[in-house]
Homo-oligomer: A and B are copies of this chain.
Amino acid sequence: MFNETKTHEITVDTVILTIKNDELKVLLVKRENEPFKGKWAIPGGYVRMSEDLDAAAMRILKEKTNVDNIYLEQLYTFGDPLRHPVSRVITCAYFALIRAEDVDVISTDNVAWHKVNDLPALAFDHKEIIQYSLKRTRERLEMCPVAYQLLNEKFTLTEMQKAYELIMGKKLDKRNFRKKVIQTEGLRELDEFSKSTSKRPARLYTFDNIRLNSKRAHFIKKEKKC
């Protein structure tokens, strides 16, 4: 099946997660070319010869979705020889959590946010890649409050808790969550309140230092993993 003398093709693929309408969503693009033409896929493309992997991920994401200036973290490299139905393509996957308000997605029929818990049929092994990015996100969330990356610049503690609950897939106690989270280094209480759509307006908070060196998210029970 394979010509062993040929060199490989390498792509990068990016998993972009956000919260919209109380749902965890992932940014997908509709494939314009074969294979899997017309199927949804995470944004990806070929790495140029003189291009760093990180740079390629940023460039391709920008080209396909107009999303720019975000922190992409390398996730995993998927190299199953059969993951691409035509040729041998190894892909280095990246992921990011972003604020929907921060990016300027060209929303077309070919670029859209999809619920992570209700994905359409995806091209290649992209479903597996998304699942793995969720696993990694949960692990990161246990170590530090990265959920702030998903929230607006100003957010309520209830919104933050909701983000945690969406990612971790479980309910958390409001009082203990609050008690713990307000100890987080970098979190600043504002003198502003949510435009109460209903009921009592909630205080807004913000994160001061983006490169936060904060506390472990102790209010999430740590899983033992090996």
Residues of A whose CB lies within 8 Å of any CB of B are 1-10, 47-54, 56, 74, 76-77, 79-81, 88, 90, 92, 143-144, 146, 211-216, 222, 224-226
- Chain B residues near A77: list those with CB within 8 A: 53, 74, 77, 92
- Chain B residues near A76: list those with CB within 8 A: 74
Contact A3 B88 (CB under 8 A): no
Secondary structure of the A contact surface, majority rule: loop
Copies assembled: 2
Contact B53 A90 (CB under 8 A): yes
- Chain B residues near A216: list those with CB within 8 A: 222, 224
Interface pairs (24), CB distance under 8 Å: A1-B50, A3-B49, A4-B48, A4-B50, A5-B49, A7-B7, A8-B9, A8-B49, A47-B79, A56-B79, A74-B76, A77-B92, A79-B92, A90-B92, A143-B225, A143-B226, A144-B225, A144-B226, A146-B226, A213-B224, A213-B226, A214-B224, A215-B224, A216-B222
